[in-house]
């Protein structure tokens, strides 16, 4: 087990390194720089600014410098937000995104599994057809369609919920963004649960449980569900990647002060350090979640041996 | 992979039986597909959408980029605008048809990129086996675990959005799954008797891959292609939504939705019609893909 984690970390570190390198040089290869603006600065000032952030030195040197900083846990200062370090920006804005993402994944897992269970239990009957239709729709209707439509109906037309804003994280402001973020994941999780349960209900240990006269409820919840879980767990990594992309859209539409909004804006403004910080954060998050998913998978399925 | 493996063995058996009855796997699949009402409906809708995207822009009374001050935010069915007009008085129907054309074109082109790369990579890995296979699939695993869309965003931001770059960027993301599917199939096919026969006849590795492995991959690849096209359209729309994809005045479905979302309280039709077109397109491809999968996999009922 420890050896497995160690091996995975040994793979993860070079992966992160490649990510950092590619992102670094891609940003630098882009035309334009962080201090370009409509108003041309006098060349002396421009030189001074570049010197202050070390942008006047050879690119290779800057790269090594940056890598050194990352290893010491220093992501550097933001080039656009004065007097803020990248770490400060991440620390201030990540909680919003994490809260959104956490709530969305919780909602997706609970309702997705519930729907999937219902569909598998009443297979080929009304609940199943309903859930499958929903699953297809959930996959086909992207977040950037659902989010504005939800805002249009529930905020603009019905006036039940606010159309955007964070408002200190008030529950009423969270309903629509979390719903929009969760819907595609609900669809996939419901589908996976249904497929897993249909397989599991055919398995011999479930037949045994039935033969022993256990109530249907406990057959489904305690015996079948357990063997239907592994594919769900391994979907955890992709699901979180999906949430990340979704958050870019949702935070923009509902005007939320999360990290998602920063990414595109910072990349457009050539705020090199902020973009790099976010790439590192996201990549580390996805790699960590994939590792956790694999560990959970092995814990659920004793046949899987971690080596 | 296991599922595919079994499916393929069954398919081989079915093929033998079909040969005895004088019916090919493809005939069977075709009949099964025609019985699937959802898939047939989806195919019809897609055909209509494709026709509209091809011919539509030439038939509308307005050009997609024709700015008319008098028609700013004209509601549907007014001023000759069937679906209304946008903030610059441009006809929504014309823009929608153009956007559909662009989105479908991007979907097909980027899927073609992912198809070529994915099939080449997967077939090579599966056929070569051993260390090469291991190394090539590790690369795929490593790429899988990255939030790839961020790289696509960086790429588009860094080098400006042009269509060719977008094909390459999106295609580069989508080939991963394709290569996994192809590799799994190749591993099964490699053991087939006709490959052994080809080898005995003195064909080289590349020849066997091209003439015997790739043609037999057609089924699963066709399924995955129909499912990749909507994924690509989705990715393109996502980029356009963020303002990084197709640039105005050119339209794409995602760009139109983004446009509509910004002014939905003033002009809800600008959000509703593009959203509907987007959902119809994605739904069509997904249902057709599901139908094809069921049709080509006799195991499923």
Q: Which tokens sit at A161?
A: 């919920």
- Share the mean pLDDT of chain A: 82
**Considering only CB atoms, which chain A residues are within 8 Å of B149?**
241, 244-245
pLDDT digits (tens, 9 = 90+) for B130-143: 888 888 887 887 77
| Nearest residue of A to residue B280, measured between CA atoms | A140
Query: Is residue A26 within 8 Å of residue B157, measured between CB atoms?
Result: no
Q: A268, exposed or middle or buried, with CB in 10 Å at 0-12, 13-18, 19+?
A: middle
Query: Are residues B287 and A139, on separate chains, in Cβ contact within 8 Å?
Result: no
Position with higher pLDDT, A176 vs B85: A176
Q: Do B275 and A267 touch (CB under 8 A)?
A: no
Checking if the pLDDT of B300 tops 50, the result is: no
Other C-beta atoms within 10 Å of B211: how many? 12
pLDDT digits (tens, 9 = 90+) for A52-110: 777 777 888 888 888 888 888 777 788 777 788 888 888 888 888 888 888 999 999 99
B chain contacts of residue A283, beta-carbon cutoff 8 Å: 146-147
Chain A residues within 8 A of B239 when measuring between CB atoms: none
Residue B16 has pLDDT above 70, yes or no: no
Contact map slice: B 154-173 vs A, CB within 8 A: 154-155, 157-160
Q: What is the pLDDT of residues A139-156, one digit of tens each?
A: 788 888 888 888 888 877
Looking at residue A40, its pLDDT comes to 67
Q: What is the pLDDT of residue A307?
A: 56
Whether B282 and B233 have beta carbons less than 8 Å apart is answered as: yes
Length of chain B: 301
Residue B244 DSSP code: -
CATH of the domain spanning A97-257+282-300 = 1.10.3720.10
User: Which residues have C-beta within 8 Å of that of residue A177, sequence separation ≥ 6?
Assistant: A100, A147, A250, A251, A253, A254, A256
Quote the minimal CA–CA distance from B16 to chain A in Å: 29
Query: What's the pLDDT at B19?
Result: 53
Cβ <8 Å between B238 and A144: yes
Average pLDDT, stretch A212-219? 83
- For residue B3, pLDDT over 50 is answered with no
**Both tokens assigned to A278:** 């976010």
pLDDT of residue B23: 60
- Phi/psi at A37 (nearest 5 deg)? -145, 175
What pLDDT is attached to residue B4?
44
Where do we find the tokens 């591993």? B187
CB-based contact, B241 to chain A, within 8 Å: yes
pTM: 0.79
CA angle centred on A268, ends B242 and A58, rounded to 5°: 150
Reported as a single tens digit per residue, the pLDDT across A264-276 is 888 888 888 888 8
- Which chain B residue is nearest to residue A252, measuring alpha carbons? B242
Q: What is the longest distance spanned by two Cα atoms in chain A?
A: 86
Task: Name the pLDDT band for A160 (thresholds 50, 70, 90).
Answer: confident
B261–A253 C-beta distance less than 8 A: yes
With a cut of 70, say whether residue B12 has pLDDT above it. no
Secondary structure in 3-state letters for chain A: CHHHHHHHHHHHHHHHHHHHHHHHHHHHHCCCCCCCCCCCCCHHHHHHHHHHCCCCCCHHHHHHHHHHHHHCCCCCECCCCCCCEHHHHHHHHHHHHHHHHHHHHHHHHHHHHHHHHHHHHCCCCHHHHHHHHHHHHHHHCCHHHHHHHHHHHHHHHCCCCCCCCCHHHCHHHHHHHHHHHHHHHHHHHHHHHHHHHHHHHHCHHHHHHHHCCCCHHHHHHHHHHHHHHHHHHHCHHHHHHHHHHHHHHHHHHCCCCCHHHHHHHHHHHCCHHHHHHHHHHHHHHHHHHHHHHHHHHHHHCCCCCCC
* A9: contact with B, CB 8 A cutoff: no
Q: Where are the domains of chain A?
A: 97-257+282-300
Q: Is B78 left (phi over 0), alpha (psi -120 to 50) or beta?
A: beta
pLDDT band at B145 (very low <50, low <70, confident <90, very high): low
3-class SS at B289? helix
Q: What percent of chain B has pLDDT over 70?
A: 88
Q: What confidence tens digit (pLDDT) does each residue in B231-241 have? A: 888 888 888 88
CA distance A267 to chain B (A): 6
pLDDT tens digits, one per residue of B238-277: 888 888 877 878 888 888 888 888 887 788 888 889 989 9
């Amino acid at each position: 087990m420890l050896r497995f984690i160690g091996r995975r970390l040994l793979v993860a570190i070079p992966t992160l390194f490649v990510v950092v390198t590619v992102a670094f040089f891609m940003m630098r290869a882009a035309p334009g720089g962080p201090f370009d603006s409509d108003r041309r600065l006098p060349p002396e000032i421009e030189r001074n600014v570049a010197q202050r952030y070390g942008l006047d030195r050879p690119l290779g040197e800057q790269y090594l410098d940056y890598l050194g900083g990352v290893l010491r846990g220093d992501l550097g200062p933001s080039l656009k937000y004065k007097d803020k370090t990248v770490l400060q920006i991440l620390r201030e804005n990540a909680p919003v995104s994490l809260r959104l993402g956490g709530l969305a994944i919780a909602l997706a897992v609970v309702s997705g599994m519930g729907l999937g269970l219902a569909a598998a239990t009443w297979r080929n009957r009304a609940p199943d057809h309903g859930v499958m239709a929903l699953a297809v729709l959930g996959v086909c209707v992207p977040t950037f369609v659902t989010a504005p439509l939800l805002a249009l109906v529930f905020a603009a037309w019905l006036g039940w919920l606010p159309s955007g804003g964070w408002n200190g994280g008030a529950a009423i402001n969270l309903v629509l963004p979390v719903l929009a973020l969760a819907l595609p994941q609900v669809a996939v999780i419901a589908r996976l649960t249904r497929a897993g349960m249909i397989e599991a209900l055919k398995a011999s240990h479930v037949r045994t449980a039935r033969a022993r006269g256990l109530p249907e409820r406990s057959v489904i919840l305690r015996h079948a569900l357990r063997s239907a879980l592994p594919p769900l767990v391994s979907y955890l990594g992709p699901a979180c990647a999906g949430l990340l992309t979704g958050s870019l859209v949702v935070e923009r539409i509902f005007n939320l002060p999360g990290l998602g909004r920063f990414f595109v804006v910072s990349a457009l403004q050539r705020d090199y350090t902020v973009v790099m910080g976010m790439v590192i954060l996201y990549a580390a998050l996805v790699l960590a979640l994939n590792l956790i998913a694999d560990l959970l998978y092995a814990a659920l399925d004793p046949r899987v041996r971690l080596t | 992979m296991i599922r595919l493996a079994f499916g393929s063995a069954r398919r081989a058996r079915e093929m033998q039986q079909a040969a005895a009855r004088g019916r090919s796997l493809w005939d069977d699949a075709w009949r099964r597909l025609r019985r699937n009402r959802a898939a047939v409906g989806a195919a019809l809708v897609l055909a209509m959408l494709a026709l509209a995207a091809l011919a539509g822009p030439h038939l509308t009374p307005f050009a997609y980029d024709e700015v008319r001050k008098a028609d700013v935010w004209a509601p549907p069915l007014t001023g000759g605008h069937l679906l209304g007009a946008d903030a610059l008085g441009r006809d929504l129907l014309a823009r929608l048809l153009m956007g559909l054309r662009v989105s479908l074109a991007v979907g097909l082109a980027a899927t073609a990129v992912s198809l070529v790369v994915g099939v080449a990579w997967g077939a090579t890995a599966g056929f070569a086996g051993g260390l090469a296979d291991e190394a090539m699939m590790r690369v795929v695993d490593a790429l899988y675990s990255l939030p790839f869309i961020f790289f696509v965003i960086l790429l588009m931001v860094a080098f400006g959005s042009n269509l060719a770059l977008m094909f390459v960027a999106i295609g580069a993301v989508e080939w991963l799954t394709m290569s996994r599917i192809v590799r799994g199939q190749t591993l099964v096919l490699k053991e087939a008797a006709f490959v052994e026969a080809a080898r005995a006849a003195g064909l080289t590795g590349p020849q066997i891959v091209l003439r015997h492995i790739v043609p037999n991959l057609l089924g699963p690849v066709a399924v995955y292609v129909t499912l990749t096209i909507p994924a690509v359209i989705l990715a393109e729309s996502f980029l356009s939504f963020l303002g990084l994809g197709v640039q105005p005045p050119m339209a794409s479905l995602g760009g139109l939705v983004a446009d509509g979302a910004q002014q939905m309280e003033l002009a809800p039709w600008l959000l509703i019609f593009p959203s509907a077109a987007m959902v119809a397109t994605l739904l069509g491809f997904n249902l057709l893909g599901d139908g094809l999968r069921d049709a080509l996999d006799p195991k499923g009922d």
